[in-house]
Amino acid sequence: MSTAKSAEPKIFARRESEARSYCRAFDTVFTKACNATMIDAEGREYTDFLAGCSSLNYGHNDPDMKTALIEHIAGDGIAHGLDMFTDTKQAFLETFESLILEPRGLPHKLMMTGPTGTNAVEAALKLARKVTGRTEVVAFTNGFHGMTLGALAATGNQGKRGGAGGIILPGVTRMPYEDALGEGADPLDFLETMLDNPSSGIEAPAAFLIELIQGEGGLTAASPAFVRRLASIAKAHGSLLIVDDIQAGIGRCGSFFSFEEMGVEPDMVTLAKSFSGFGLPFAGLLLRPEHDIWKPAEHNGTFRGNTHAFVTARIALEKFWADGQFQAEIAEKSALLTERLGRIAGMIPGAKLKGRGMMQGVDVGGGELAGAICAECFANGLIIETSGAHDEVVKVLAPLTIPRAQFEAGLDTLEAAARHCAPTNNTSIAAE
């Protein structure tokens, strides 16, 4: 952290806990934001390639959601209603059913969990255990599922786990994600071998909990074949399949859900981040009707069903998911992203493209280089972060709604930063 020229007002050092984090990399005070642009207190504009870690897939302050939300507030619409019935919840559910669930043939019901992703994961794990009568859940290497104790047990990151202060993180068996064993070894062979061996010490789990693209874990994307085989193993062993779509869902990877067109139908799907459309705290759990054995309030929480979020989430669905146009735009931008990141990867020896859709990045081989590139970007007005076990992936999470010109300009900044920081950079420059 550069302390000399820090823009950090003293109140933060004085009164905000050291747990604060993004503010250290992006050391300025932000005041306004619109679509893909953030503005700081000194009027400087930044292009946002972080998008609230995929919480702002529709950009900052979408004008239609803004209008509807202001109208709701101005008209004394319910702001907080626990889990009572409200007109806003009703309208949201009807829209969610007609625009998302029905067209995809999903019979699922929605559980309004506490408005955080980790809470949706906790609800999913509880329910899977209740439904199956089993306690172990299989989670995968490099998975990130949240920070409360139940979800943290499923999170691989050692630093995050260490934050629990030494208490046991129970109920999770770890299995290798698709890429974890290197070339030629299929982790699902391993998984199946373990489950088929009654003396392996690893029993059929309550559920498999998986992100189809690992948002924090380095943007590794599971292949459709892997996901289909996992679903089939789950079925064979009476285990539920839970797709954690908190970061990869809501259009981020090209379709509303990350598992579409993979030929699987998860038993549960966790949603959060961009689910509200506007960046408001909101989360939910999709679950099959036959698994809906919850007793009233058996999992509850004060802020379950954020009413402001119902308003904006409904508008988001109506505006972006009523037809295929938005998805086509994402596909186009995704292709551009692949191409541009490929160029960047080409500049760095050993670099690899990661992810899919608008959730792609470049594994530059190490955290130091990735961090340097992101810092250089920020110095040039681009907000962008790393991902991966070693922070080795430069991750592009632009709003899906980013104007193409701004997207390209941001990618130019990124490319320049990569060129600036890449180990072969000096040589290249010399060659020019």
Least spacing, CB of residue 335 vs a copy of itself, in Å: 27
Helices (H), 275-424: 307-320, 325-347, 367-379, 404-421
Site for a copy of itself in 12-41 (CB under 8 A): 12, 14-24, 26-34, 38, 41
Least spacing, CB of residue 277 vs a copy of itself, in Å: 10
178 CB-side CA count, 13 A: 19
The answer to whether 8 contacts a copy of itself (rule: CB under 8 A) is: yes
CA distances from 354 to 48, 193, 350, 357, 387 (A): 20, 29, 13, 10, 10
Rounded to whole angstroms, the Cα distance separating 199 from 197 reads 5
The answer to whether 166 contacts a copy of itself (rule: CB under 8 A) is: yes
Burial readout 25-42 (b: 16 or more C-beta within 10 A, e: otherwise): bbbbeeeebebbbbbbee
The answer to whether 225 contacts a copy of itself (rule: CB under 8 A) is: no
Q: 382-383 and 45-48 as β-strands: parallel, antiparallel, unpaired?
A: parallel
Report the residue number, 192 or 408, with the smaller CB distance to a copy of itself. Answer: 192
Rounded to whole angstroms, the Cα distance separating 93 from 100 reads 10
The answer to whether 147 contacts a copy of itself (rule: CB under 8 A) is: yes
Among the residue ranges 154-162, 237-245, 334-342, 349-357, the one whose residues contact a copy of itself (CB under 8 A): 154-162
Q: 352-356 and 359-363 as β-strands: parallel, antiparallel, unpaired?
A: antiparallel
Report the residue number, 203 or 260, with the smaller CB distance to a copy of itself. Answer: 203
Among the residue ranges 135-143, 254-262, 320-328, 413-421, the one whose residues contact a copy of itself (CB under 8 A): 135-143
Q: 406 with 386: CB under 8 angstroms?
A: no
* Interface pick for a copy of itself out of 287, 315, 373, 394 (rule CB under 8 A): 287
The answer to whether 425 contacts a copy of itself (rule: CB under 8 A) is: no
The answer to whether 135 contacts a copy of itself (rule: CB under 8 A) is: yes
Per-residue binding string, a copy of itself, 362-401, x by CB under 8 A, is --------------------------xxx-----------
Among the residue ranges 62-70, 345-353, 402-410, 412-420, the one whose residues contact a copy of itself (CB under 8 A): 62-70
Least spacing, CB of residue 246 vs a copy of itself, in Å: 8
Per-residue binding string, a copy of itself, 191-210, x by CB under 8 A, is --xx--xxxxxxx--x----
The answer to whether 270 contacts a copy of itself (rule: CB under 8 A) is: no
User: What SS3 state is found at 190?
Assistant: helix
Least spacing, CB of residue 229 vs a copy of itself, in Å: 17
The answer to whether 217 contacts a copy of itself (rule: CB under 8 A) is: yes
Q: 351 with 384: CB under 8 angstroms?
A: no
Least spacing, CB of residue 379 vs a copy of itself, in Å: 16
Among the residue ranges 147-155, 329-337, 396-404, 405-413, the one whose residues contact a copy of itself (CB under 8 A): 147-155
Q: The tokens 């037809």 sit on which residue?
A: 323
Site for a copy of itself in 328-367 (CB under 8 A): none
Report the residue number, 42 or 432, with the smaller CB distance to a copy of itself. Answer: 42
Least spacing, CB of residue 255 vs a copy of itself, in Å: 20
Least spacing, CB of residue 216 vs a copy of itself, in Å: 8
User: For a copy of itself, how many residues bind (rule: CB under 8 A)?
Assistant: 156
Give the DSSP letter string of 203-259.
Answer: ---SEEEE-SB-TTTT--B--HHHHHHHHHHHHHTT-EEEEE-TTTTTTTTSSSSTT
Least spacing, CB of residue 252 vs a copy of itself, in Å: 13
User: What SS3 state is found at 155?
Assistant: coil
Helix axes 325-347, 404-421, angle to 10 degrees: 20
Q: 338 with 353: CB under 8 angstroms?
A: yes
Site for a copy of itself in 101-120 (CB under 8 A): 101, 109-112, 114-119
Rounded to whole angstroms, the Cα distance separating 61 from 418 reads 30
Contacts of range 81-89, beta carbons closer than 8 Å, 24 or more positions apart: 81/305, 81/307, 82/302, 82/304, 82/305, 83/112, 83/300, 83/304, 83/305, 86/307, 86/310, 88/307, 88/310, 88/311, 88/314, 89/305, 89/307, 89/310
Q: What is the largest CA-CA distance in the chain?
A: 69
Report the residue number, 275 or 407, with the smaller CB distance to a copy of itself. Answer: 275
Least spacing, CB of residue 408 vs a copy of itself, in Å: 23
Task: Name the nearest CA neighbour of 363 among 383, 378, 376, 348.
Answer: 348
Site for a copy of itself in 293-312 (CB under 8 A): 293-303, 306, 308
Least spacing, CB of residue 312 vs a copy of itself, in Å: 9
Tokens, residue 51:
């998008």
